[in-house]
Amino acid sequence: MAGHKKLYVKTFGCQMNVYDSERMGEALATAGYVASDDITDAELIVLNTCHIREKAVEKVYSDLGRIHQLKQQRADQGLETLIAVTGCVAQAEGAEIIARAPQVGLVVGPQSYHRLPDLVTKALAGQKIVDTEFPDEDKFTKLPERTLSPSTGNGPAAAFLTVQEGCDKFCTFCVVPYTRGMELSRPVALVEAEARRLVQRGVRELTLLGQNVNAYHGEGPDGRSQSLAQLMERLAGIDGLERLRYMTSHPRDMGDDLIAAHRDNPKLMPYLHLPFQAGSDRILAAMNRKHTAADYLRLVERIRTQRPDIALSTDIIVGFPGETDAEFEATLDVVRTVGFAQAYSFKYSARTGTPAASLGAQIDPDIANDRLQRLQLLLGEQQASFNADCVGKVFPVLFERVGRREGQLVGRSPYLQPVHATAEPSLLGQIIPVSISSARPRSLAGEVLAA
Ligand code: 5AD
Ligand code: SF4
């Protein structure tokens, strides 16, 4: 549209950032910005950053270097470019970012996104802006309603919805309590209203997000707090909403009613992301996880008793300070015992300001690399075998996007696997039975059975 300014958003990190990027795009739309896929064309470039590991932060600074060159090239053509850094690096480093990368005009933390249009105007007037406040107001109520613009990468059939933010658990390796602040749950009514709007716009699957989503305790209609299971029971009553998921969970917050919901809530998908981080009780204690490996295994058993077909995914860290070979083996043991459909595994990364960063006995990088490789080999085998076991089954697949191959659509199984199938574009946004005929290490393919 003529007269509209172009916005380019790059998202790093977790799903919460994906959600936030979408909401920022909507906020900036009120200031006349339209999303663009072409960074060279953008008047406003937003890097929505992640602080969780050193590597993620380095990536931001190297991107900023490249964007600086772009800004100079555009300036030679008489074009202005405003560069904004948002997200967790913005929150953690604040003004440091502008000191290190003076091309940045605007640094905005995750709690201030509703102020973006205003802050952008000020930055365009030449002020350097750093806004990393932790206001008490619920920023979500101040953001414009969801429009689900397709450019944000979120397909219209499945959407994220942040219901909880922050973390009070203080795992000793983790920056989240410092970057995202204390645990805060959005009220049930606001979550439900947002969910209804999304469903009206064609969303069939919602993933409820929170750094500690199962600690959800939002205010219910009667003023009393409700659990995640209660929230999902309510959401399951929305006509047209077919699937619910949630992430990320802490084992300590898997309440009885949440476990029961995996049996009783017909819309809750049989898939659970449940990080265990390490298999050694000594390391778990040093991480301040407040559970043992046996606690985790018992929990998995209880969940599987209620929902035998549930698929599990997890997060694991190798090379936590002081981790011995035997302690690493204990991590492999838990993986072998549980059997994961999918997993994320990381080399420990010391984060300034976290308790673990000042522990002695940081692990030699070669050893950590070696452990990560061994772990990923095992996890890769488990994922491939989980996928191979799906061949011959029939899954309801929610088709979300067109595939790269002509005539092909890509959807998700209940177990979150991407499923490729030849299908009419009219099936986008629908849940269709698909007979699984082949498996790859990370995806499935099959034939549509009936429309
Ligand atoms: N180093 C490595 N991995 C980390 N994670 C969180 N903090 C660190 C860190 N300092 C991992 C955890 C968490 C996931 C989101 O990232 O496994 O569950
Ligand atoms: Fe990264 Fe955590 Fe921020 Fe998500 S919340 S972007 S994982 S630091």
* pLDDT tens per residue across span 245-275: 999 999 999 999 999 999 999 999 999 999 9
Whole-number pLDDT of residue 58? 93
pLDDT above 80: residue 1: no
Using one digit for the tens of pLDDT, what is the confidence trace for 10-35? 999 999 999 999 999 999 999 999 99
Query: Is the CB of 275 within 6 Å of ligand 1?
Result: yes
Give the model confidence (pLDDT) of 178-193 as tens digits: 888 889 999 999 999 9
Q: What is the pLDDT of residue 125?
A: 95
Q: Whose CA is nearest to atom 14 of ligand 1?
A: 315
Instruction: Give yes or no for residue 150 having a pLDDT over 70.
Output: no
Query: Is residue 328 within 6 Å of ligand 1 at its C-beta?
Result: no
Question: CB–CB of 313/272 below 8 Å?
Answer: yes
The model's confidence at residue 2, banded by pLDDT at 50, 70 and 90, is very low
What spacing in Å lies between the alpha carbon of 176 and ligand 2's midpoint? Answer: 7
For residue 276 and ligand 1, the question of a CB distance below 6 A is answered with: no
Confidence at residue 139, expressed as pLDDT on a 0 to 100 scale = 78
Atom of ligand 1 nearest to the CA of 345: 17
- Cα 317 to ligand 1 centre (Å): 6
What is the model's pLDDT at position 142?
Answer: 82
At 79-94, the pLDDT tens digits run 999 999 999 999 999 9
pLDDT at 398 over 50: yes
149 confidence band (pLDDT: 50, 70, 90): low
Per DSSP, helices labelled H in 147-273 are 176-179, 188-200, 228-236, 256-264
pLDDT above 80 for 115: yes
Q: How large is the average pLDDT for residues 26-52?
A: 95
Q: Which atom number of ligand 1 is nearest to the Cα of residue 351?
A: 10
Q: DSSP class of residue 2?
A: T
pLDDT tier for residue 135 given thresholds of 50, 70 and 90: low
Query: How much of the chain exceeds pLDDT 70, in percent?
Result: 97
Question: What integer pLDDT is reported at residue 321 of this predicted model?
Answer: 97
Q: Which of 339, 188, 348, 183 is nearest to 250 (CA)?
A: 183
Report the run of H or E that residue 409 belongs to, with start and end: strand 408-412
Average pLDDT value for residue range 276-297:
98
From the CA of 174, which ligand is nearest? 1
Measured from the CB, is residue 110 less than 6 Å from ligand 2? no
Q: How far is the CA of 139 from the centre of ligand 2 (A)?
A: 18
Cβ–ligand 1 contact at 53 (below 6 Å): yes
pLDDT at residue 152 tops 80: no
Is residue 22 a contact partner of residue 209, using CB atoms and an 8 Å limit? no
State the Cα angle at 291 between 346 and 207, rounded to 5°: 60
Specify the 3-state DSSP secondary structure of 31: coil
Q: Would you say the CB of residue 13 lies under 6 angstroms from ligand 2?
A: yes
Point out the ligand nearest to the CA of residue 275: 1
Query: Nearest ligand to the C-alpha of residue 372?
Result: 1
pLDDT (tens digit per residue) in 290-300: 999 999 999 99
Which of the residue ranges 170-184, 340-354, 366-380, 381-395 would you say has the lowest mean pLDDT? 170-184
Omega before 141 within 30 of 0, i.e. cis: no
Any ligand 1 atom below 6 A from CB of 180: no
Select from 94, 107, 5, 95 the least CA-distant residue to 48: 107
Closest protein CA for atom 4 of ligand 2:
14
Q: Does ligand 2 come within 6 angstroms of the Cβ of 51?
A: yes
Percent of the chain with pLDDT over 90: 91
For 36, residues 6+ apart whose C-beta sits below 8 A from its C-beta are 6, 7, 8, 42, 151
Higher pLDDT, 1 or 249: 249
| Ligand 1 pocket member 370 (CB < 6 A) | no
* Ligand 2 atom at minimal distance to the Cα of residue 16: 4
**Lowest model confidence (mean pLDDT) among 104-113, 173-182, 229-238, 418-427:** 173-182
